[in-house]
Copies of this chain bind each other. A is one copy, B any other.
Amino acid sequence: MNLYALTPGDEIRRRIEKIQHAMADAGMPAMLVTSNANIYYTTGRVINGYVYIPATGKPLYFVRRPTGIQNPDVIYIHKPEQITGHLAERSIILPEAIGFEMGLLDVMTYDRLTKAFGGIKALNASPVLRTARAVKTDFELDMLRRSGVKHERVYQRIPHLYEEGMSDIELQIEIERISRLEGCLGQFRIAGESMELFMSNILAGDNADSPTPYDFAMGGAGLDPSLPVGANGTVIKPGMTVMVDSNGNFTGYMTDMTRVFSDGDIDDLARKSHQCSIDICRSLEKAGTPGTPASQLYELAMSIVNERGLERYFMGHSQKAGFIGHGVGIEINELPVIAPRSRDVLALHNVIALEPKFVIPHVGATGVENTYIVTEKGLECITNSPEEIINLN
């Protein structure tokens, strides 16, 4: 077993350098990476352990499991209290402060780790890691593009899965099966607990207007109060829309994509709002160059919505979401956030999902979602598949 598995060593070095650059900006002399997502980012695989990153030079990998990794920079440990001893053995002087993932690390583990480092001064490494990860390397862009191609294929097969009289959840089960057969890993990585979901969210008809506790753009009542989001057993009928929002994690890096389906014609307001979503995407694709404030993209979208008098329905009807897009990559909630008060500014090779959506009472959800790479020329779409409302028949 190779620590770097599918990720070449050069790529890992490039990511570590990016993190070290952000550490220098933040005045952080060292960092201990602890979350699965950031361990995957800094090693190319998930390990049970810790990645110690100094301000300059090579990281060290303290691993509990799995056994058998052959790598000179891997040190097997049983508990974090052994880390400082190993650093001393390698003549590494403990820095004055160390960064921890305070945005994710639980208080008990954090207390244990700071004690294991002799009560060291702790800094917050979460913003540093989020900033470094927001700008993708060429290797990561390739992973995302490959996910996008497979993701498109899943959407092309959806009309073939539909049978008259199906419920939203029955259609969802068949979509997820096809997605897995195309190679989707299923796991939907999310930082924190603000969302719980694994593969997709299917909203048929008025269920789109059911509020959810989660940070999703759209809601849905769900099948059970223990997981109140998404499909609720609505039988798909002519006149309603069926929104399919799914994660495309085929490579460890996921694309995010939404298309809308219907069994026959739908009413004018719904069509108009769906076209508005497509038009917003076209406008934002042009506007989304490096240096553009994320809030400006949001305002541009709102101006198009207002022009067409569709505010009531935009980003939800009885409960509204406060954003129209978000960074994606290893996790579904990365930087930048496309929201009115976002301070994020688009950078070259950010990857963002834009999802300007509407909820039309008595019809359902409309609008598209695509995943884009920020390039000098604007946003490059990596989830290319027809955007009009697709007839299920």
A residues sitting closer than 8 Å to B (CB atoms) are 1, 5-7, 35-36, 40, 44-49, 64-68, 100, 102-108, 110-111, 124, 126, 169-170, 173-174, 176-177, 180-181, 183, 185-187, 189, 192-194, 196-199, 210-215, 219, 223-228, 249, 251-252, 318-319, 330
Q: State which of B170, B212, B252 has its C-beta within 8 Å of the C-beta of A65.
A: B212
Q: Which among A181, A193, A214, A215 has the greatest number of chain B C-beta atoms within 10 A? A: A193
Whether the Cβ atoms of B35 and A193 lie closer than 8 Å is: yes
User: In the complex, how many angstroms separate the beta carbon of A192 from the nearest chain B beta carbon?
Assistant: 7
Q: Chain B residues near A36 (CB, 8 Å)?
A: 193, 196
- Point out the residue from B40, B124, B174, B210 that lies within 8 Å of A108, measured CB to CB: B124
Are the CB atoms of B5 and A225 closer together than 8 Å? Answer: yes
Q: Name the B residues within 8 Å of A44 (CB-CB).
A: 225
- CB pair A68–B318 under 8 Å, yes or no, is yes
B211–A46 CB distance below 8 A? no
Q: List 9 A-B contacts (CB under 8 A).
A: A7-B225, A40-B226, A102-B107, A103-B108, A107-B124, A108-B126, A174-B177, A187-B197, A226-B330
**A211/B68 in contact, CB under 8 A:** yes
Give A51 to B380 CA distance when docked, in angstroms. 44
Cα A23 to Cα B104 in complex, Å, equals 26
Contact A213 B46 (CB under 8 A): yes
**Chain B residues with Cβ under 8 A from A185's Cβ?**
223-224, 226-227
B residues near A66, Cβ cutoff 8 Å: 210-213, 219, 228, 319
